[in-house]
Amino acid sequence: MNKELSGTTVDVDAEGYLTDPGQWTKEVAVELAKEEGIELNDRHWKVIDFIRKDGAENGTAPNVRRITKIGGVPTKELYELFPGGPAKKAAKVSGYGKPHGCL
């Protein structure tokens, strides 16, 4: 299904996750974050940049443990940045689907 974000048409699934991470842009990320009630700052971008890099290398969004251990963002901060499901919300804003193991 198609969705228009920041003047760009992107393909999303029924839950609003991009189905093609290649369609992601920083402008799309800002719009996806707004939909989640999040205003992005430098700390959000650190997480997003890590997910984009890790996702490109592994083909899927990292889980919370990977973000905190390898991405270097403390768990408490990750939950503050992306409340109510940090791995899912961070993956969505980063242009990836739900990480494996997320309901």
| pLDDT (tens digit per residue) in 59-75 | 999 999 999 999 999 99
Rounded Cα–Cα distance for residues 72 and 68 (Å): 5
pTM of the shown model:
0.92
**Contact 62/94 with Cβ under 8 angstroms?**
no
Rounded Cα–Cα distance for residues 47 and 96 (Å): 13
Among residues 12, 82, 102, 103, the one annotated as catalytic is 102
Predicted local distance difference test score (pLDDT) of residue 100: 65
pLDDT tops 80 at residue 101: no
Amino acid in position 64: V
Rounded Cα–Cα distance for residues 90 and 1 (Å): 21
Predicted local distance difference test score (pLDDT) of residue 71: 94
Question: Is 101 exposed, middle or buried, given 0-12, 13-18 or 19+ CB atoms closer than 10 A?
Answer: exposed
Partnered with residue 11 across adjacent β-strands are 2
User: Annotated catalytic, 102?
Assistant: yes
pLDDT-derived band of residue 102, with 50, 70 and 90 as boundaries?
low
Predicted local distance difference test score (pLDDT) of residue 99: 80
Angle formed by the axes of helices 42-58 and 86-93, nearest 10°: 80
| pLDDT (tens digit per residue) in 29-62 | 999 999 999 999 999 999 999 999 999 999 999 9
